Every structure is written in C-alpha cells, then in structure tokens.
C-alpha cells in the first residue's frame, strides 16, 4: 500500500507543476488568480480606437492587444504630435485605460463620452471603438456627428 500513496503524490506533484507552467493553455490562465493582473486591471484584452475631427482623420488612433504571450500597443495622438509603439505606447495608455474603467454593461453613450474625454477629443466627427472585454465579449461603439 505504501508504494501507491508515494506514487500518487508524485503524480499529483507533477500535475501541479505542469499546471503551473501551462502558459499556453488559455483556459488555465483565466482561472489563475493574479496571472494576468494587467488584463483584469483594464477589464479588456483589446481596444481599437479611431477618432476623426473636422480638421483631421485619425486624430486619435489606438491599437492595444493583450495576449497570453505578449501585449502590443500603438498610440497616435495628432493633437499632441505623439506616435508611440510598444512599451512607450503602453506606458502612455495604461493610466488612461485605468481611469476609463470600462465595463461591458456601460451604455454606448457613456463609453463614447468617457473615451472621447479621456483622449481629449470631444468635438469629433467620427468615433469608432472596438473593445474585447476580458471575458471575450466583443463590443463596438460608433458615432458620427
């Protein structure tokens, strides 16, 4: 009998070790507390925003995509002559995203108002935002003036 209990605990330890290393298993990651703090911090995995004004197309252009293995970020703000990619874009966007605190139960109007204010372009002609929330729910917010 002793043999089996030792064998059983070795199996269990191996399973635990493998489980902890299984970064490619997307289902595992969602359940692992604290594994993806950034994702939970913003409440979404991807955020694609284009805002046009009467003067300029794509005055704000944001592309943000958080994956299990990497995060991609691009941020262009023609009002402030910014064109950032990678870590610099992420560092610029993170505080904006935190302040936004978007949730999928917000109304379209509320999301558009918060986002256009956050990026300083409330006087837009076209607003186009696509968000993939952390649970995989995709939503689009569009408006033309």
What pLDDT, in 10s, does the model give residues 1-28?
444 445 444 444 444 445 544 444 433 3
- Cα distance between residue 40 and residue 66, in whole Å: 11
- Cα distance between residue 28 and residue 20, in whole Å: 9
Tokens matching residue 101: 């605190």
pLDDT at 68: 81
Q: Residue 62: which residues within 8 A CB-CB, separation 6 or more?
A: 47, 48, 49, 50, 74, 75, 76, 93, 119
Threshold 0.95, pTM exceeds: no
Q: Which residues of the chain have pLDDT under 50?
A: 1-5, 7-17, 20-39
Alpha carbon 45 to chain centroid, angstroms: 3
In sequence order, the β-bridge partners of residue 60 are 51, 77
Q: How many residues does the chain have?
A: 145
CB 121 within 8 A of CB 53: yes
């Amino acid at each position: 009998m002793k043999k089996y209990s030792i064998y059983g605990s070795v199996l269990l330890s191996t399973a635990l070790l493998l489980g902890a290393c299984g970064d490619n298993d997307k289902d595992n990651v969602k359940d692992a507390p604290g594994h993806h703090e950034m994702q939970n911090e913003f409440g979404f995995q991807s955020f694609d925003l284009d805002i046009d004004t009467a003067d300029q197309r794509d005055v704000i252009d944001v592309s943000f995509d958080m994956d299990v293995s990497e995060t991609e970020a691009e941020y262009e703000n023609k009002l402030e002559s910014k064109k950032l990619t990678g870590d610099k874009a992420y560092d610029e966007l993170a505080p904006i995203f935190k302040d936004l605190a978007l949730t999928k139960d917000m109304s379209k109007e509320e999301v558009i108002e918060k986002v256009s204010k956050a990026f300083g372009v409330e006087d837009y002609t076209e607003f186009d935002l696509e968000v993939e929330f952390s649970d995989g729910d995709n939503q689009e917010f569009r408006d033309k003036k």
